[in-house]
Amino acid sequence: MSLAKFSSDFLMESFTLVDNLFINEHLPHCSEKQIKIYLYGLYMCSMPEKMNSLDEMCATLGVSEAELLSVYTDFEDAGLCRVVSKEPLEVAYCSLKRAMQPPRKYKSEKWNDFNRELQQLFHERMLTPNEYNEYYTFLDSVKLDRDAMLMIVRYCIELKGENVRYPYILTVARNWANEGVRTVADVERKLNEYEAQSEDMRAVLSALGRKGGAELEEKQMLTKWTRSWGFTLPAVLEAAKSIKAGKTFRKLDTRLDEFYRMGVFTAEEMKEYNAHRERLQELAVKINKTIGVFYESLDHVIEVYTSPWLEKGFDEKALLTVAHYCFLSGIRTLEGMNGVVEKFYSQGLLTVDAINGFIGEQVAQDERIKKIVEATGRDRGVTASDRNFYRTWSAVWGFPDEVILIAAELSAGRSYPTSAVNRLLSEWKAQGVRTPEDARRAAAQPSDRQPARPSSAKNFEERSYTDEQIRSVMVNIDDLEDDDL
């Protein structure tokens, strides 16, 4: 345990120093995510061990461990850090001044021609020894031809100007190498692909409301969409058209990724999908309004609730009817409504008429149950327990309402009238009572004149049952037909 340490408030009030070399040489060429990771990692270097963790960084920045490893691997290539361990991820930030010192790994004679041609591409600034070293390391690790590397550097300069830095150039070279680019011929083929799609790119830029040329990353996206994912140009343009606001290549890439996952590839399919999604959004808004909830984003609502409900076969009017009934019943959440929808689905009730018919039957049934409750001498509303008992007496035991009412009247005044009705109907079931006349005759008989029935308790004592037999009866009791009871 440390003898002394900074308090958390001291650390919060202190400063994190960022080397100007990073700002000048690397920051202009880093993505927003890379900048966040580098700065927050630099900040965490001064944090206590319990706060300096992989989970803490992932949670704060909203990134995955794989994303962190990828970014820090690029930083390692740029000399910004050293990846000490990949599992678990451990990173050591390096001194940028030391990284800028002349390289010792490579002999200058070996690279004289490459150095001269590389420097000739940059007319307005001198390359640093560290930059040369990064190119050497990359070429040795990737096995890319030097002339091919020079062509890539020239292309990046034409695209970005001479201020382009080596991290950007090496990222381009690495991406192309991953696609099999190794030689001058490979680079020429890649550049020809970009040139061939120039007309298509202008059409995409126009659809996005962009002026000027496309970035290299954007050209790579267009190649991915048309060659790897199989979208035609009209489909790409339709996807761009479907983006409502803030049209960017990133948003277009996200939209096309969604279409790719959904198996939607043509412009016509996209129009149908977008129209369907608009209907889903409109339905989601109506349902939310009906039950009294509000969500700023409807994506989750559509994915988890609205779309699955429609896939089950419910039509829009049926779902709005269910939402209305939920509101009247005090169910004011989508999850609560989902439970009701599942119950209707299990009963095969998918349309407004079917649902209204079911509700009507339930209301009529409650009215019948209400009469039975009143016949026992009580004045209260119908409960779920009442409905379950009535279902047993009527649907399972087969008694008509008239017989159940007679049993209820005979049980009036008892401390527990429902239990009395259960016992009386059970006796009548054993005696074969089925009609009101049978019930009245059975009720008129003195108890001592009623036919003697075997005692189930006595039978149980006289015969033993195995545990397996008892388990079998308990498991299968729900599967018995009404006539078997």
Same domain, 369 and 339: no
Residue 464 lies in a domain: no
Note whether residue 369 is domain-resident.
yes
Report residue 180 as tokens: 């099999």
**282 falls within a domain:** yes
Closest C-alpha to 208, from 268, 164, 256, 271: 256
Task: Please tell me the distance from the alpha carbon of residue 114 to that of residue 103, in angstroms, as a whole number.
Answer: 15
Residue 484 lies in a domain: no
At residue 152 the predicted structure's pLDDT band, cuts being 50, 70 and 90, is very high
The pairs formed by 269-273 with CB atoms below 8 angstroms and a separation of 24 or more are: 270/235, 270/238, 270/239, 270/242, 271/238
Q: Which of 195, 220, 254 is the last residue of a domain?
A: 195
**Count of residues in the chain:** 485
Mean pLDDT of 243-268: 90
Task: Say if CB 259 and CB 273 are below 8 A apart.
Answer: yes
pLDDT the model gives residue 393: 94
Domain boundary among 265, 300, 320: 265
Residue with tokens 């020239």: 154
Q: Which residue has the tokens 């300096």?
A: 52
CA 242, 244, 247, 253 dihedral sign is negative
Q: Of the candidates 190, 152, 147, which has an alpha carbon nearest to the alpha carbon of residue 171?
A: 152
One domain, residues 147 and 178: yes
Q: d(Cα 273, Cα 252) in Å, to the nearest integer?
A: 16
Question: Alpha carbon 348 to chain centroid distance?
Answer: 28
Report yes or no on 399 lying in a domain.
yes
CA distances for 263 relative to 72, 256, 273, 482, angstroms: 34, 10, 11, 49
- Taking residues 22-40, what's their average pLDDT? 88
* Residue 101: strand, helix, or coil: coil
Q: What is the pLDDT of residue 408?
A: 93
In this model, does residue 459 exceed pLDDT 90? no
Q: In 3-state terms, the chain is what percent helix, strand and coil (to 5)?
A: 70, 0, 30
In this predicted structure, the answer to whether residue 39 has a pLDDT above a threshold of 70 is yes
Structural contact between residues 223 and 193, judged by C-beta atoms closer than 8 angstroms: yes
Task: With beta carbons less than 8 A apart as the criterion, state whether 295 and 281 touch.
Answer: no
Tell whether 190 and 201 lie within a shared domain.
Answer: no
Does residue 124 fall inside a structural domain? Answer: yes
Q: Tell me how far apart the alpha carbons of residues 302 and 289 are, in angstroms, rounded to a whole number.
A: 14
**Residue 104, phi-psi category: left (phi > 0), alpha (psi -120 to 50), beta (remainder):** alpha
Do 187 and 202 have their domain in common?
Answer: no
User: What pLDDT, on the 0 to 100 scale, is given for residue 5?
Assistant: 55
Show which of 78, 99, 120 is a domain's final residue.
99
3-state secondary structure at position 82: strand
Torsion-angle region of 94 (φ positive above 0: left; ψ -120 to 50: alpha; else: beta): beta
- CA dist 336 and 4 (Å) reads 54
Q: How confident is the model at residue 397 (pLDDT cuts 50, 70, 90)?
A: very high
Q: Number of helices (H) and strands (E) in the chain: give both, helices first.
A: 27, 2
**Would you state the pLDDT for residue 461?**
39
Same structural domain, 370 and 325:
no
| pLDDT band at 98; cut points 50, 70, 90 | low
Place of tokens 């009529």: 364
Give yes or no for residue 294 having a pLDDT over 70.
yes
State mean pLDDT over 152-175.
Answer: 89
More confident residue, 167 or 464: 167
Name every residue whose Cβ is closer than 8 Å to that of residue 294 and which is 6 or more positions away in sequence: 288
Q: What is the predicted pLDDT for the residue at 103? A: 45
As a whole number of Å, the end-to-end CA separation of the chain is: 74
Give the model's confidence band at 471: pLDDT under 50 very low, under 70 low, under 90 confident, else very high.
Answer: very low
Same domain, residue pair 241 and 292 = no
Residue 455 has pLDDT above 80, yes or no: no
Residue 343 included in any domain: yes
Closest to 351 measured CA to CA, from 319, 383, 391: 319
Residue type, 199: E
Question: Has residue 51 got a pLDDT over 60?
Answer: yes
Burial class (CB in 10 A: 0-12, 13-18, 19+), 448: exposed
Domain count along the chain: 5
Q: Do 49 and 113 sit in the same domain of this protein?
A: no
Same domain, 388 and 414: yes
208 has a pLDDT exceeding 90? yes
Q: Within 10 Å of residue 50's Cβ, how many Cβ atoms? A: 7
What pLDDT is attached to residue 476? 36
List CB contacts of 418: < 8 A, sequence separation 6 or more. Answer: 376, 385, 386, 389, 411
Q: Is the pLDDT of residue 473 over 50?
A: no
pLDDT, mean over the chain: 83
Rounded Cα distance, 264 and 447, in Å: 76
In a domain, 334, yes or no: yes
- Annotate 137-206 with DSSP letters as a single string: HHHHHHT--HHHHHHHHHHHHHHH-TT--HHHHHHHHHHHHHTT--SHHHHHHHHHHHHHTHHHHHHHHH
**Residues 6+ away with beta carbon under 8 Å from 436:** 400, 402, 403, 406
Instruction: Say yes or no: 365 and 449 in one domain.
Output: yes
Q: Tell me: do 344 and 387 sit in the same domain.
A: no
Residues 113 and 188 in one domain: yes
Identify the CATH number of the domain in which residue 155 sits.
1.10.10
Task: Give residue 78's domain range.
Answer: 8-99
Q: Which pTM value belongs to this model?
A: 0.44
Average pLDDT over residues 90-101: 72
Give ∠ CA 168-170-173 in degrees, rounded to 5. Answer: 115
pLDDT tens digits for range 377-386? 998 888 889 9
Residues 117 and 46 in one domain: no
Range of lowest pLDDT (8-17, 119-128, 204-213, 334-343): 8-17
